[in-house]
Chain A
């Protein structure tokens, strides 16, 4: 799988990211790094403990990473989740978390698959 195909599969915007970041190698480095990032775990944990302040920060962090990597799909859902947690948990948050879980899994799995083929 090429990096471009990886982006297509996780519904990211490869054209956008490659226009911003200096090289394919640079992008690859951070795509691989994303798979090792622990923020999603932090989000789940905070959620379970009912610490929605921390959950907000974690969602915010995921959103920021996705923006930098142009992971459009996950960015959209994590961004919505962030807003639903701003200043406390809103009723929609539960459902939005579900979407983030799904998109995150797609993203992480795709990167793992890409990595295995390197």
Chain B
């Protein structure tokens, strides 16, 4: 990288002059901008300077060539790998958006443009693409390291060739150097050749092996001072395929990238662009680029060196001869590269590194090795990252959790593989709220709850949880949703979405529900306890305060005596018996509870006459003989018509009525009247009078 900090270039592609101009105004201070007004112009701009463009902002709907077509071209030419793209369309069509995503778009900025958001997203994208480039370099280093083992082999093999060949040791070094220079030039021109830093290093190293096949050629032919006869030339030509065979026989190293590339170079470095080379007569880009470049470097060095059969040509003459196709025929773009580096390459070849190393021997190997240890740290980092990634995907698969990432704009959900399989959804779902399959899982109610809980998250407490029922396979099951809300880095932060998981908690939740039900019940009778009866009654009062409700509060007269005389077990059986009676005479909608001891309450809704209902209930309970104990009931009744829709008021009033019954001699029921200090008013036949206070019974046992 050069010391001067260059401003990054942003290519803005939009047919609306105004939109482009707004973006230029927002970004112009920080970056260089290039504006074009349709896809065609964008492509030609990329063609001219894909290497210089750090970021492209692309509209979708445009004349001549639209944004999606631009992306298609970028994919075909592989520009998409080096030029990150932010979509800036007003497009809301989710098909188009998901298409764009599939074609490698990095981010979306929706209209209307917000200055701060635009600046932030652009910066983020530039940063992350820089990070990506850095990572790619790390990987290149790692590959390079692996190849080190093979380098010694290369050195030995290529020196054997030189030794036999009588060529100066410099030839191999020159070819390597030239190959590298040409490849670097080519890389920026033609991304489709995929010439990463690692690959360039690999090809340059492998270039040293281009002539190893010469080991098998008779020395007399190899070092013949004059022109070769036709027959001798046929033999000489075999060196390329022989070299390839030698590498083929390497066994252990088969499949290593270095060996694969060396194979290409050995076999095809005498092929010609026009198809008239040997051994296979390959044509054009059918010849691997590694072989094309080495062929050119080989020819140049042969021309400019003195050989047994010729004197050296000048640099200028050599370039001229190559460009005039006097020494073969080459890829036009490679000829362009050669001319472009022509001025600097002589200097390159004279650089101390090249001069000094007549054999790139032990000292430079040592240097490489030591240079190498610096890389160890980054390799370790990579390994750790890889390790973390594996660990993560392993646990993600094992945990049987549905993990998801939700972004609001564009509206999409991505699921982990297990979750997608489990739900029968795609791993990426665009517009999930509109999606029918998703809709099946998320009822409107659940959706609203999730929305609310997500909105309740704050940057200080970004993690929220919700338990809700999700319908799965036709059954509503409990899931726990744990989500971490995500915000933009803007000020104030804008909610961008959430990552989270949904865990099936149905069995544990059912267990809890069961416990809850048990906790709400009276253990002995199975009726509701007072607390839960109260909360259920209050819920109904709240739900429908206009309706008429009555509360009957009663106890069993002389219960203490029964307990004392017959024992607690008898008392308990009596309580259970009363509960059973109550179940028989009440409707399922009534709330029936054992309030404690021998006290019970009944909470009922009524419409016209209340008294017949009370009569029926009272009649079913009072006066029955239970194991010799004649059951006597005292009951007070109050209604919401009298005291209003308030449970405590109802209880209080019913209790006062009950107290009045007790005062008046028990064994009766009485409606609350508001003047409960007075004696029970005779209610004619509606007042049940206990026949006798002294109960005539025979013990059960």
Chain A positions within 8 Å of B, measured between CB atoms, are 16-17, 19-22, 26, 29-30, 33-34, 37, 39, 54, 56-57, 60-61, 63-65, 67-70, 86
Contact across chains for B111 and A68 when beta carbons are under 8 A apart: yes
Q: Is the CB of A57 within 8 A of B90?
A: no
Nearest B residue (CB) for A26: B25
CA distance A56 to B115 in the complex (A): 27
Contact A64 B16 (CB under 8 A): yes
Interface-centre pick from B17, B61, B89, B111 (highest chain A CB count, 10 A): B61
- The yes or no answer to B590 lying at the interface (CB within 8 A) is no
Q: With A33-B21, A57-B15 in contact, is A68–B112 under 8 Å at CB?
A: yes
A20 and B112 in contact, given A54-B63, A57-B62, A60-B61 (Cβ under 8 angstroms): yes
Please tell me which one of the listed residues B90, B91, B115 contacts residue A22 in the complex, with CB atoms under 8 A apart: B115
Q: Are A68 and B19 interface neighbours, CB within 8 A? A: yes
Q: How far is the CB of A117 from chain B (nearest CB, A)?
A: 22
Q: A residues within 8 A CB of B90?
A: 60, 63-64, 67
From B18, B62, B91, B112, A70 is in contact (CB under 8 Å) with B112
Are A37 and B112 within 8 A (Cβ)?
no
B16 touches A39 (CB 8 A): yes
The answer to whether B22 and A68 have CB atoms under 8 Å apart is yes
Q: Chain A residues near B15 (CB, 8 Å)?
A: 57, 61
Task: Please give 20 more A-B residue pairs, beta carbons under 8 A apart, in addition to A20-B114, A20-B115.
Answer: A20-B113, A21-B22, A29-B25, A30-B18, A33-B21, A34-B18, A37-B17, A39-B16, A57-B61, A57-B62, A60-B90, A64-B16, A64-B59, A65-B19, A67-B112, A68-B19, A68-B22, A68-B112, A69-B112, A86-B93
Complex CA gap A57/B66 in Å reads 10
Which residue of B is nearest A86, CB measured? B93
Chain B residues with CB under 8 Å of A54's CB are: 63
> Would you list the 8 A-B pairs with minimal beta carbon distance, nearest first?
A67-B111, A64-B90, A20-B114, A67-B112, A68-B112, A60-B61, A61-B16, A22-B115
Alpha-carbon distance between A63 and B25 when the two chains are bound, in angstroms? 20
Complex alpha-carbon distance, A68 and B19, angstroms? 8
Report the minimum CB–CB distance from A1 to chain B (whole Å).
21
Q: Specify which chain B residues have a CB less than 8 angstroms from the CB of A60 in the assembled complex.
A: 61, 90-91
B392-413 vs A, CB cutoff 8 Å, 1 = contact: the mask equals 0000000000000000000000
Please, how many angstroms separate the alpha-carbon atoms of A21 and B63 in the complex?
28
What CA separation (Å) do A33 and B112 show in the bound complex?
A: 16
In chain B, positions 7-28 with a C-beta closer than 8 Å to chain A are 15-19, 21-22, 25-26
Residues in chain B near residue A19, CB distance under 8 A: 114
Q: How far is the CA of A34 from the CA of B61 in the complex (A)?
A: 19
Instruction: Known A37-B17, A57-B15; judge A64-B111 contact (CB<8 A).
Output: yes
Give the distance in Å from the alpha carbon of A70 to the alpha carbon of B112 in the complex: 7
Using C-beta atoms within 8 Å of the partner chain, give the interface range for chain B: 20 to 34
Question: Known: A64-B16, A64-B19, A65-B16. Contact between A57 and B115, CB under 8 A?
Answer: no
Complex alpha-carbon distance, A105 and B366, angstroms: 78
A-chain residues with CB within 8 Å of residue B25 when the two chains form the complex: 26, 29
B residues less than 8 Å from A65 (CB atoms)? 16, 18-19
Q: Contact check, B16 vs A30: say whether CB atoms are below 8 A apart.
A: no
Taken residue by residue from 16 to 42, chain B's Cβ proximity to chain A (1 for < 8 Å, 0 otherwise) reads as: 111101100110000000000000000
Instruction: Report Cα–Cα, A17/B115, bound state, in Å.
Output: 10
CA distance A54 to B90 in the complex (A): 16
CA distance A106 to B60 in the complex (A): 28
Q: Which residues of B contact A33 (CB under 8 A)?
A: 18, 21
Chain A residues, CB < 8 A from B63: 54, 57
Q: How far is the CB of A41 from chain B (nearest CB, A)?
A: 14
> Chain B nearest CB: distance from A76 CB in Å?
13
Interface-central residue, A56, A69, A70, by most chain B CB under 10 Å: A69
Residue in A closest to B25 when the chains form the complex, CB atoms = A26
B485 to chain A, nearest CB (A): 22
Residues of B98-112 at the interface with A, using a CB-CB cut-off of 8 Å, are: 111-112
Cα A33 to Cα B19 with chains together (Å) = 11
Residues of B within 8 A of A16 (CB): 112
Inter-chain contacts of B21 with A (CB < 8 A): 30, 33
Q: How far is the CA of A56 from the CA of B66 in the complex (A)?
A: 13
**A69 vs B21: C-alpha distance when bound (angstroms):** 13
Bound Cα distance A34, B115 (Å): 19
Q: Report the nearest B residue to A16, measured CB to CB.
A: B112
B233 to chain A, nearest CB (A): 63
Neighbouring B residues of A30 by C-beta, 8 Å: 18, 21-22
Write 14 A-B pairs (CB below 8 A) sorted by A numbering.
A21-B115, A22-B26, A22-B115, A37-B17, A57-B15, A57-B63, A61-B16, A64-B19, A65-B18, A68-B18, A68-B111, A68-B112, A68-B113, A69-B112
Using Cβ atoms and an 8 Å threshold, which residues of chain B touch A69? 112
Nearest Cβ on chain A to B23's Cβ, whole angstroms: 10
A20 cross-chain contacts in B, Cβ below 8 A:
112-115
* Residues of chain A within 8 A of B112, CB atoms compared: 16-17, 20, 67-70
Nearest residue (CB) in B for A21 is B115
A67 CA / B114 CA spacing, docked (Å):
11
CB neighbours of B91 from chain A (8 A): 60
Residues of A within 8 A of B59 (CB): 64
Q: How far is the CB of B455 from chain A (nearest CB, A)?
A: 20
Question: Nearest chain A CB to B372's CB is how many angstroms away?
Answer: 50
Residue of B nearest to A19 (CB): B114
Using an 8 Å CB-CB cutoff, how does the interface string of B466-477 with A read, 1 for contact, 0 for none? 000000000000
What is the bound-complex CA distance between A63 and B112, given in angstroms? 10
Tell me which residues across on chain B come within 8 A of A37, comparing CB atoms.
Answer: 17-18
* B96 CB to nearest chain A CB (Å): 10
**Bound CA–CA A70/B17 (angstroms):** 17
| B100 CB, min distance to chain A CBs, angstroms | 16
Residues of A within 8 A of B62 (CB): 57
Bound CA span A29–B21, Å = 10
Closest A residue to B89 by beta carbon equals: A64
| CB-contacts of B26-80 with A (<8 A) | 26, 59, 61-63
Q: In the docked arrangement, what's the CA distance between A56 and B113, Å?
A: 21
Which residues from chain A contact B18 at a C-beta distance below 8 Å? 30, 33-34, 37, 65, 68
Query: How distant is B627 from chain A, measured CB to nearest CB, in Å?
Result: 81
**Least Cβ–Cβ distance between B59 and chain A, in angstroms:** 8
Residues of A within 8 A of B115 (CB): 20-22
A53 to chain B, nearest CB (A): 9
Q: Which residue of A lies closest to B16 (CB)?
A: A61
- Cα A39 to Cα B17 with chains together (Å): 10
Q: Mark B494-522, 1 if CB is under 8 A from A, else 0.
A: 00000000000000000000000000000
Closest CB of chain A to B65's CB: distance in Å? 12
- Shortest B698–chain A CB gap in Å is 89
Q: Closest residue to A29 on the B side, CB-wise? A: B25
A34 to chain B, nearest CB (A): 7
Cα–Cα, bound, A42→B90 (Å): 19
Q: Give the docked Cα–Cα distance between A70 and B22 (Å).
A: 14
Cα-based distance from A26 to B581 in the complex (angstroms): 82
Most A C-beta atoms less than 10 A away, residue of B15, B16, B89: B16
